Amino acid sequence: MKELEFIKKEVIKIMDNDPAHDFEHVMRVYHNAEKIAKKEKANQKLVLAAALLHDIVSYPKSSKLSKFSSIESAKKSKSILKKYDFSNDEISIVSDAIEDHSFSQNKLPRTIEGKILQDADRLDALGAIGIARVFATSGSLNRPFYKIDDPFCNKRNPDDNHWAIDHFFNKLLKLHSLMNTKSGKIEAKKRTNVLKIFLKQLKSEIQP
């Protein structure tokens, strides 16, 4: 699909995001989406276009505008898709998928393309790469790894605005139960086990 290669080149020029939401993240989401779309028999062209464009606007996590990143990405995607002769219906499907995918928007996607994009993006928050992304983001925001007197949120509510490990409890360990597709759920469970193994090992290293 030549149009996807053109979009990919355009995204590379546009993107200037933090390491957790850079072009490598986009391509991991792209490959996740490709695998899920095949299994779910969805429209590959629309799913992959949405994957390429889903983070073309990504405000810093420290910004109040952060929760609007997916909405702005959806708006910006429309002009790009028009350049490559996507129909109005196709543009609507892709932009809706992008707008709906974000965890912070707390939306159930309206289409199968949106559900696949959301699953593909959430998979990149899990597993080994998910762990790396947590600490990349927390490091950029100068957040400590964990709260010394209660690292694993045993006696308090998680607060990932202050401690990196809290993000596991506030979001990541919940994602497998929020997946939309059968294939997404299977892969999410595998990657969630990686998080649990990491936390178990971390506990053995920091608590006597």
Q: Are residues 43 and 130 in the same domain?
A: no
Instruction: Give me the chain's average pLDDT, please.
Output: 90
The per-residue pLDDT for range 151-208, each reduced to its tens digit, is: 999 999 999 999 999 999 999 999 999 999 999 999 999 999 999 999 999 999 998 7
Instruction: Supply the pLDDT for residue 20.
Output: 64
Instruction: Supply the pLDDT for residue 103.
Output: 66
Q: Which of 78, 108, 138 is the last residue of a domain?
A: 108
Burial class (CB in 10 A: 0-12, 13-18, 19+), 31: middle
Dist. CA 98–CA 78, nearest whole Å: 11
**In this model, does residue 67 exceed pLDDT 80?**
no
pLDDT band at 36 (very low <50, low <70, confident <90, very high): very high
Instruction: Supply the pLDDT for residue 90.
Output: 95
**What range defines the domain where residue 164 resides?**
125-208
Dist. CA 114–CA 96, nearest whole Å: 7
The per-residue pLDDT for range 84-133, each reduced to its tens digit, is: 989 999 999 999 999 988 766 677 898 999 999 999 999 999 999 999 99
135 — phi, psi (to 5°)? -80, -25
Q: How many domains does the chain have?
A: 2
Q: How far is CA 93 from CA 90, 104, 105, in A?
A: 5, 20, 17
Q: Are residues 9 and 78 in the same domain?
A: yes
